[in-house]
Structure 1
Amino acid sequence: MPNVVASIEYLQNLPLYKEEKPYWCMLTPREGFDPDEERLDNLEFEIHDGLTITDIRNSQANALIIDNCGFQVLSHTSKVMSFNTKDDVDKYKAETMEMLTQELDAVFVKTYELRLRKNTPIDRPVMNIVDPLLFEGPARGAHNDVTYDSGPVIINRYLTGEEKVDYLKPGYRFRIVNTWRSLVPDLEDRPLALCDARTVTAEDFVAADRIIPDRVGEVYYLLHNSNHRWYYLSKQSPDEPFLFIMYDTAPGENARFCPHVSFQNPVASPKALFRQSVETRSIVVTRL
């Protein structure tokens, strides 16, 4: 497949964000709340057209590895391809931890979160964000799910006291990584685009709060920079999951973040199946 010329959604570089931190709320709506009248965020995005998104199948895929560009394509067949019960979620998390242990030569892995997404209209009056079987729509705006500040918070939140004693000491490297897998064959609808970390500067990131009932998290949204280089995998199969970095404690030139976002694929077949995907977030510990 050829590279595509498509559009990427970025955060607008508004003067507002110099005075007010970007935020997005997912809270229980109060009685009388009307989402058409009151906003739960101050996020304003802009579309940048005419961007080349390079097909990984046309590139030197072996050179695209998580430490260099921030992402890579794995070869892995999952035994869990439908999510109907919590047991399915637990099995997929366990499978992911085993896969990451092997791929990254890890001494410890904890998959702490799983997200299901689909690109179809979702008609529901209330969304339960703690439901492990919740399907969400594709996330908006190029972003990285972890920041320099939120990375340590996540690690502290999900590690037990014993795990902290074992690993929070010199000689260990902590990474927070995402795995992203298509749940349909030959994915064409709303594929995921990944930005080469080597083309992103610190000034391109804007920290934003994600507010949910039990805590406030922090993510990075991405401002446009003409130097950014984007990649995707044409007709991505379920056996070709992405692995990409969201946070890394290791010093050096290795990638620490990998901005990503789905995009409207201009070469998708009119008969393409609607995108469905599963992603995980995991803490990975390796020896330095």
Structure 2
Amino acid sequence: MTEEPVVRAELAYLDRGTTAGRQFIAPGARVATEVVERHPVRIRDGRPVRDSFSLDVQGFALVDHRSAVIDLTDPAELDAGYVPEVCRFVQEQLGADQVLSRGWELRRSVAPAEHGAQPPAAGVHVDYAPDHVAGMVARAHARHLPDAPAYRRAVVTSTWRVFSPPPQDWPLALCDARTVPADDGAPITTWFVDELPADPSGPVDHLRPVGSSWKPYHRPEHAWWYFPAMTRDEVLLIKLGDTDRGAAWAAPHTAFPDPAGAGGVPRHSIEFRTFAYFC
């Protein structure tokens, strides 16, 4: 079997001495309390074998999808056009009965705050802590779909699209869910704030957390992939949680500076999270 092309990078993992952490997200910036450790990894090019990936096996897939939205930086266009468009796409891809929007987020590798964006998330993570998924999707279903039938399964996904020209300077690396135990990491509580706190370890009684993400500890067996030079007409469908523990539970992921793309185009991307319900 031919070996896929490989790049090498150092990824930021949660230090094994960290059992919980905090992160504060302000416009264009982030600060966190957890200790990270950097590990060199091999990241294989998934394009030669793109048809071998699936949401329920590895936890991610590269899918062709052309958006009808012209300006992916315009909040009004995103809310009016992109939200329903991607909800339909997720419903079709997963075969779900209902799909709820959980909002979009723009990221930009250069001057993010000037463009209403966040910087690339350069640390290995899953957007939602696995122990919180079941309660989170249940509360959302009760609130937003009170008259819908009971569901037997819920899947949380992110639809990730880059819309700056290739090659991008900060592509996304994804880890095969089969190589990551869901109990080998720690939750990170998240707060959205107007300004970053001077002491992120200080009192937070006056703030309300918005949820918890999750960060794994490093394991040598983690299998990393990426899809270089993505275009606007492709998306990565990434699993962030699943109430069916018989399928891939989630795919940890991170942005990384592509050593093969020195001088690459600054990345501008959009991620859109959804809850999909199966009755």
The TM-score normalised by the length of structure 1 is 0.82
Equivalent-residue separation in structure 1 for 2:61 and 2:31 (angstroms):
34
CA distance in 2, matches of 1:115, 1:166: 28
Structure-to-structure mapping, 1:174-253, within 5 angstroms: 174-212=154-192, 213-252=207-246
Q: Do residues 47 (structure 1) and 29 (structure 2) align?
A: no
Q: Report % sequence identity.
A: 27
Which 4+ residue blocks in structure 1 deviate beyond 4 angstroms? none
**Post-superposition shift, 1:149?**
3.0
**Partner of 1:273 in structure 2?**
265
Distance 1:23 1:286 in 2: 33
Q: Distance in 2 between matches of 1:144 and 1:159?
A: 21
Rate the CA distance shift 1:238–1:163 in 2: closer, same or farther, 3 A: same
* CA distance in 2: counterparts of 1:83 and 1:7, whole angstroms: 30
Tell me the residue number matched to 1:32: none
Please tell me whether residue 7 in structure 1 is matched to residue 10 in structure 2: yes
Q: Report the CA distance between 1:104 and its aligned residue.
A: 1.1
> 1:150: how far off?
2.4
Letter of the structure 1 residue corresponding to residue 249 of structure 2: R
Q: 2:189, 2:209 within 8 Å by CA — same for their partners in 1?
A: no
Alignment gaps of 5+ in structure 2 = 193-206
1:86 aligns with 2:79: no
Q: Give the TM-score, by structure 2 length.
A: 0.85
The one-letter code sitting in structure 2 at the alignment partner of 1:54 is: R
Contact between 1:191 and 1:265, CA under 8 Å: does it hold in 2?
A: yes
CA shift in 2, pair 1:26/1:53, >3 Å: closer
Find the aligned partners of 2:135 and 2:278 in 1 and give their Cα distance: 19
Q: Deviations over 1:125-163 (max 9, x none)?
A: xxxxxxxx8300011310001123322343245335461
Which of the residues 92, 102, 110 maps onto 2:92?
102
Letter in 2 for 1:284: A
- What are the ranges of 5 or more consecutive residues in structure 1 without an aligned counterpart? 29-34, 125-132
Distance in 2 (CA, whole Å) between partners of 1:164 and 1:67 is: 28
Between Structure 1 and Structure 2, how many residues are aligned? 260
Question: For the residues of structure 2 that align with 1:64 and 1:27, how far apart are their CA atoms?
Answer: 34
More displaced, 69-78 or 155-164? 155-164
Preserved contact between residue 6 and residue 44 of structure 2 (Cα < 8 Å)? yes
* Displacement of 1:219: 1.0
